[in-house]
Amino acid sequence: MSDTESSSTSILVTQRNEEDTENDIEIEEIPVKKARKASRVYNHHADFETYNQALDMIKNKFEGYSWAAKEKQKSTIGDKEFFKCSSCDKRLYIFKPNTNSSESIFVEEEEHVHIPKTRGVPEQTNNGIKT
Ligand SMILES: [Zn+2]
């Protein structure tokens, strides 16, 4: 049965050759899809004339919470400075476009998810009201 042997050998050789060819050819670049976590949705919230005005709005308990400054991102269209809610993972950013001097705040399309603190003893609000 030398026929079978030779044919199976030739198949093996052919497969090897294909693999070699594949390695030589540059595989077309397929953009790697990022995980869902990376795709946060931000909505435009407000425009400001200066950076400080935008920063003031965030620092002044925007949406009633305090925000911590996070990373900055530079791109060809402008700079983004991210902030994160100090009590959850909601984010926002100040966007400074390269094309003009305005500043914009974009806020993530997520609700605040704050775990209420139940252990703390409520403050006594006994003001000693006397009649
Ligand atoms: Zn929050």
pLDDT tens digit sequence for 82-117: 999 999 999 999 999 999 889 999 999 999 999 877
The reply to whether 46 falls in a domain is: yes
67 CA from centroid of ligand 1 (Å): 8
pLDDT in tens, 63-87: 999 999 999 999 999 999 999 999 9
Averaged pLDDT for residues 118-127: 61
DSSP 8-state assignment for residue 129? -
Is 95 part of a structural domain of the chain? yes
Give residue 25 CA to ligand 1 midpoint distance, Å.
50
How far apart are alpha carbons 38 and 48 in whole angstroms?
A: 27
- Which of 11, 6, 104, 115 shows the shortest CA–CA distance to 58? 104
Q: What is the pLDDT of residue 129?
A: 56
**Per-residue confidence (pLDDT) for residue 118, from 0 to 100:** 74
Ligand 1 center–CA 75 separation, angstroms: 27
Task: Give the pLDDT confidence of 25-50 residue by residue, as tens digits.
Answer: 565 666 665 445 568 999 999 999 99
Task: Report the separation in Å between the CA atom of 114 and the middle of ligand 1, taken as the mean of its atom positions.
Answer: 6
Quick one: pLDDT at residue 90?
Answer: 97
Domain of 61, in residue numbers: 38-108
- Residue 28 belongs to some domain of the structure: no
CATH number at residue 56: 2.20.25
**Residue 1 located in a structural domain:** no
Q: Provide the number of structural domains found in the chain.
A: 1
pLDDT, position 13: 53
pLDDT at 32: 61
The answer as to whether 60 is a domain residue is yes
Q: Does residue 7 lie within any of the structural domains?
A: no
In a domain, residue 14? The reply is: no
Distances (CA, A) of 129 to 1, 121, 122, 123, 124: 108, 21, 19, 16, 13
The alpha carbon of 92 and the centre of ligand 1 are apart by a number of angstroms equal to 11
- Give me the helices (H) in 25-78, please: 51-59
Determine the distance separating the centroid of ligand 1 and the alpha carbon of 74, expressed in angstroms. 25
Report how far ligand 1's centroid is from the alpha carbon of 78 (Å).
Answer: 26
pLDDT of residue 25: 57
Give the per-residue pLDDT at 100.
87
Tell me if 125 is assigned to some domain: no
Three-state SS annotation for 76-119: CCEEEEEEEECCCCCEEEEEEECCCCCEEEEEECCCCCCCCCCC
